[in-house]
Chains A and B, each alone.
Chain A
Amino acid sequence: MPRKQNLMRADRLGYVVGGIALIVWALRRPTLLRTGVGGLGGWLLYQAYTGSNPMFRPLGIRVNPQPADPDVAETIVLDEAITISRPRSDVYAFWRRPEHLPTITEGDVEVTRDVEGEQIAWRAMRGARMLHFGALEFRDAPGGRGTIVAARLEYQPAGGSLGDALARISGRSPQRLLVDHLRRGRAILEAGEAPTTSGQPTGRR
């Protein structure tokens, strides 16, 4: 999978249309300003060609043009990991429970693979529509430091890469949900409870 790609097909199509429109507008009556705008159009075309918008790079957006699931044409991929100071069997048992799977959408969840102590994979569907699919892998952390849980999740964001970028900036993205989910799981496994402040007093009115 080419790692650098962070634009989805719909985004790239939009960039082509927009880029050509800007260039045509610039060529109709060239002025200094319009030439600059035409340059911007060229840059959009170049991004459509490479499939990568450098401004999205710091956000960690990654597109998989050939997802393993045949029902979807392309996905955005999340890879997150967390280390938990508990034996692998305990950590696996916790996430084996369907209500603990880090699903990021409402809808039906179907476990597609389950290798005891090693891996759990699932698909989330609403009717016939694929919402996301994901997998958790469990392995021993080095030096007896517990268990590493590696999560991979693939989904199709509303609004393509741009929509996903805006979601990440606003702090309400699938990436944030997944990380919060893993962190919450660690807190429950290690401390027996997840930290919270909801319900505490404040001077807000």
Chain B
Amino acid sequence: MRAVCWHDKLDLRVESVPEPRILNPRDAIVRVSATAICGSDLHLYGGFVPGMVKGDILGHEFMGEVVDLGPGVKNLSIGERVVVPFPIACGNCFFCRKAMFSLCENSNPNAAMAEKLWGYSPCGIYGYSHLLGGYAGGQAEYVRVPFADVGPLKVPAALSDEQVLFLSDILPTGYMAAENCSIQPGDTVAVWGCGPVGLFAIASAQLLGAERVIAIDRFPERLRLAATKLGADTIDYTEDNVTEALKELTGGRGPDACIDAVGMEAHAHHSLAYAYDRMKQAMLLESDRPVALREAIMTCRSGGTISVAGVYGGMIDKFPAGALMNRSLTIRTGQTHVQRYMRPLLARIEKGEIDPSFIITHRMKLENAPLAYRMFRDKQDDCIKVVLTP
């Protein structure tokens, strides 16, 4: 079969590899009908995530048809159409029972590696480095899905692939980011980053009752989408000082909650702190550039919440612990517990409350994945979200 393989930083190749087979009783094999490139895949593409090995198959946003089942999977049948959540979770452990699926203790065969870097290990994730299990991903014609009796969600025939594909990651991720804000009536939520997760966080904050959402980015097409499609107020950080603008827009108090939908490769405009982070990252003295996170902490209103949906991998510098402590701020974060949100969000899609396909700008063949990655990274042709089909 054909699959998108990581070979090195900025070196992806679509190659012929063997087809996956059942390895464990609770496995399924899914023939992929649609898969997407996630913003977090760009961290792998750029070489910012440790534990990648030449030949690793990428992709954690995918859906398709069940073509083979292990003897332990009783709730699926061959031929059923499913969307697969990116966290691999057993459904039985301490964390799965608390619906914290992305912390599953039984799905990362390389837990010892993750423990060295992070203290304890989270769950395994498809195509997301050997730290998170080294599982072959879904940017391929076929993919093996462990614990298939827990993860995959059957989808109604009436909904198209493009309407349900993002239940695998970014829609629940945007939703959890908004849920983590504990939105109260009258609240203003500021969202750093208007990529797919940021846009879904904006939409979710509105669904959860935010009075007002302020979107921050530098790409006009993304800000335009946030404004016209979702009705958010926007700040272009290359034109305005974000701190001043937020103060002004919130009556001098700051947003009640701030969502970082940017993560470890943040940009800033003409900023000394940004030059400092780029330099430290280049010298391997800092793995992540927390420009958006710092700004979110510094501008959040006292007693407010910072919700981190953007991916971080290692260590950051100049973390404003003083602001956090003295102003009673709360940080909430985590890889998304996708399994917890899939059904309720599918219901919202069915009711027409949200149609996640509005973010798709590019539809390409799997064979063109290397080009798609480059376009997405460089935001060529106003690229916001790419869906690949085998």
Contact = CB atoms under 8 A, between A and B. Distances in A.
Interface stretch (A33-41, A118-126, A188-196): A188-196
Contacts of A197: 23, 109, 133-136
Contacts of A171: 112
Contacts of A66: none
Chain B CB within 10 A, most for which of A200, A201, A205 = A201
Given A171-B112, A180-B112, A191-B92, A203 B105 contact: no
B264 interface: no
Interface in A144-158: 145-146
Interface string A97-123: 000000000000000000000000000
B117 to A, nearest CB: 13
Given A190-B90, A191-B92, A200 B112 contact: no
Contacts of A194: 24, 106, 109
Contacts of A180: 112
A190 B93 contact: yes
Query: By DSSP majority rule, is chain A's interface helix, strand, loop, or mixed?
Result: loop
Interface stretch (B49-57, B187-195, B198-206, B321-329): B49-57
Contacts of B105: 183, 186-187, 190
B18 A201 contact: yes
B106 A201 contact: no
A88 to B, nearest CB: 16
A205 B16 CA distance: 11
Contacts of A196: 23-24, 109
A180 to B, nearest CB: 7
Contacts of B17: 201-203
Interface string A162-191: 000000000100001001100100110011
Given A187-B90, A193-B25, A200 B144 contact: yes
Interface in B103-139: 105-109, 111-112, 124, 133-136
A8 to B, nearest CB: 25
A203 B112 contact: no
Given A183-B111, A201-B19, A204-B55, A191 B5 contact: no
A203 B106 CA distance: 26
B103 to A, nearest CB: 13
A199 interface: yes
A202 B24 contact: no
Nearest to A200: B136
A198 interface: yes
B146 interface: yes
Interface size on B, as a range, is: 35 or more
A119 to B, nearest CB: 24
Contact of A83 (B53, B55, B94, B124): B94
Nearest to B7: A203
A192 B13 contact: no
Contacts of A205: 55
B9 interface: no
B106 A204 contact: no
B72 interface: yes
Contacts of A199: 21, 23
A191 to B, nearest CB: 4
Chain A CB within 10 A, most for which of B17, B26, B106 = B106
Contacts of A204: 53-55
B108 A195 contact: yes
Contact of A202 (B25, B93, B136): B136
B3 interface: yes
B379 interface: no
Interface of B: 1, 3, 5-7, 13, 15, 17-21, 23-26, 53-57, 72, 88, 90-94, 97, 105-109, 111-112, 124, 133-136, 140, 144, 146-147
30 contacts: A85-B92, A171-B112, A180-B112, A187-B105, A190-B90, A191-B90, A191-B147, A192-B92, A193-B24, A194-B106, A195-B88, A195-B107, A195-B146, A197-B133, A197-B134, A197-B136, A198-B23, A199-B23, A200-B135, A200-B144, A203-B3, A203-B5, A203-B6, A203-B15, A203-B17, A203-B54, A203-B55, A203-B56, A203-B57, A205-B55
Given A194-B109, A202-B57, 19 more contacts: A83-B94, A179-B112, A186-B93, A186-B105, A186-B106, A187-B90, A190-B105, A190-B106, A193-B25, A195-B106, A195-B133, A195-B146, A196-B24, A201-B1, A201-B19, A201-B136, A202-B56, A203-B7, A203-B15
Interface of A: 83, 85, 145-146, 171, 176, 179-180, 183, 186-187, 190-205
